[in-house]
């Protein structure tokens, strides 16, 4: 256990941040959802209503939750509906749906106006630029599509495997399109075709200059909310960057054992951790938020 991230109950900024927050941006996998993507399990994958009950409590308190995940628009739209939530941010900040039923907004970062051909999605442009082929050739057996989650995507590619992110980024930097390689944390796929890989990570290929934090900032501006009224929660190093745009960023328990998360968190003074892992951590956070609002 790494103790470099203060616990939520001991963080000096937490009482005021929790009390002032009207809205939460939440990651899904590893944060709200347990292993296997289920809401109805505890952190050890045993059947549990703890996280679902916490969602009900948050909704009953009239608090707003916005999903902010690497998953695609179709997936998040259904999960958000199931939870009783409305707007969301998909594909790591590249696809924003401000409210239920709205057309998606595609965010392409540093790409110029001519980066996309007529009718082309950012997802298709990344493939056309040769990004996937280049990575497969540079890291044979170490990277593959994160099936089946690579389907139905509009802006980013999701891969899995194990590679040196700096070396992978150098491969992408040779291409004509500015594409960023993002490590989205440790995953536990049921099966892979990878060779000699012990720790499997999910990776995204995305337009350079796009982030969850940037999408979050734009979404806040649309809603007319200030940073002081916003919280975020996640479990990966890229989630920790949401601290830039929120009063407090919370990471769930197992993330404190991830060296990348601890390294990212060291750059901010407004990152706190729960003891509970995965959905249990989300519920622990939710109880603290509701208590602070009612205090």
CB 260, min distance to Mg ion, A: 12
Residues 38-57 that bind Mg ion (CB under 5 A): none
Q: Which letter, b or e, does each residue of 283-295 get, where b requires 16 or more Cβ atoms within 10 Å of its Cβ?
A: bbbbbbbbebbee
Residue 235 within binding range of Mg ion, rule CB under 5 A: yes
258 binds Mg ion (CB under 5 A): no
207 lines the binding site for Mg ion (CB under 5 A): no
Q: Is 27 in the site for Mg ion (CB under 5 A)?
A: yes
Strand positions, DSSP E, 146-259: 157-161, 179-186, 201-207, 230-234, 248-251
Our finding on whether 281 is near Mg ion (CB under 5 A) is no
Q: How far is the CB of 130 from Mg ion (least distance, A)?
A: 28
CB of 32 to Mg ion, least distance (A): 9
Binding part of the chain for Mg ion, among 40-48, 124-132, 158-166, 236-244 by CB under 5 A, reads 236-244
Tokens for 221, please give them.
Answer: 């501006």
Buried b (16+ CB within 10 A) or exposed e, 194-220: beebeebbbbbbbbbebbbbbbbbbbb
Q: Could you tell me how many residues of this chain bind Mg ion (CB under 5 A)?
A: 5
The pairing of strands 271-273 and 248-251 is parallel
Q: Does 29 bind Mg ion (CB under 5 A)?
A: yes
The stretch near Mg ion (CB under 5 A) out of 21-29, 99-107, 186-194, 202-210 is: 21-29
d(CA 33, CA 42): 9
Is residue 99 classed as helix, strand or coil in its secondary structure?
coil
Q: In whole angstroms, what is the distance from residue 123 CA to residue 97 CA?
A: 17
Q: Smallest distance, Å, CB 85 to Mg ion?
A: 17
Closest CA to 291 of 58, 11, 30: 58
Residue 91 binds Mg ion (CB under 5 A): no
- Min dist CB 92 to Mg ion, Å, is 10
**Minimum CB distance to Mg ion, residue 197 (Å):** 19
Between 58 and 187, CB nearer to Mg ion: 187
Q: Is the dihedral of CA 7, 244, 149, 128 positive or negative?
A: negative
Place of tokens 């407090």: 248
Q: Which stretch binds Mg ion (CB under 5 A): 24-32, 37-45, 198-206, 279-287?
A: 24-32
Residue ranges binding Mg ion (CB under 5 A): 27, 29-30, 235-236
């Amino acid at each position: 256990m790494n103790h470099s991230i203060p616990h939520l109950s001991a963080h000096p900024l937490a009482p005021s941040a929790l009390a002032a927050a009207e809205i939460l941006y939440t990651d899904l996998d590893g944060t709200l959802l347990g292993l296997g993507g289920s809401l109805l399990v505890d952190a050890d994958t045993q059947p549990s209503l703890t996280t679902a009950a916490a969602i009900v409590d948050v909704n009953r308190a009239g608090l707003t939750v916005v999903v902010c995940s690497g998953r695609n628009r179709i997936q998040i739209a259904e999960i958000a509906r199931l939870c009783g939530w409305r707007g969301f941010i998909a594909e790591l900040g590249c696809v924003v749906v401000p409210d239920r039923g709205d057309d998606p907004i595609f965010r392409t970062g540093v790409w110029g106006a001519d980066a996309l051909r007529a009718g082309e999605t950012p997802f298709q442009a990344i493939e056309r630029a040769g990004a996937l082929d280049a990575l497969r050739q540079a890291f044979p057996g170490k990277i593959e599509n994160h099936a089946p989650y690579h389907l139905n995507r509009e802006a980013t590619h999701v891969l899995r495997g194990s590679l040196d992110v700096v070396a992978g980024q150098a491969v992408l930097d040779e291409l004509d399109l500015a594409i960023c390689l993002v490590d989205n944390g440790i995953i536990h796929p049921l099966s892979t075709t990878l060779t000699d890989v012990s720790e499997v990570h999910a990776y995204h290929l995305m337009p350079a200059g796009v982030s969850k934090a940037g999408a979050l900032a734009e979404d806040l501006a649309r809603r007319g909310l200030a940073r002081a009224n916003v919280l975020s929660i996640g479990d990966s190093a890229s989630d920790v960057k949401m601290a830039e745009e929120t009063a407090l960023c919370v990471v769930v328990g197992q993330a404190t054992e991830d060296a990348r998360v601890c390294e990212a968190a060291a750059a901010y003074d407004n990152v706190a951790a729960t003891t509970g892992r995965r959905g249990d951590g989300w519920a622990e956070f939710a109880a603290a938020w509701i208590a602070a609002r009612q205090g």
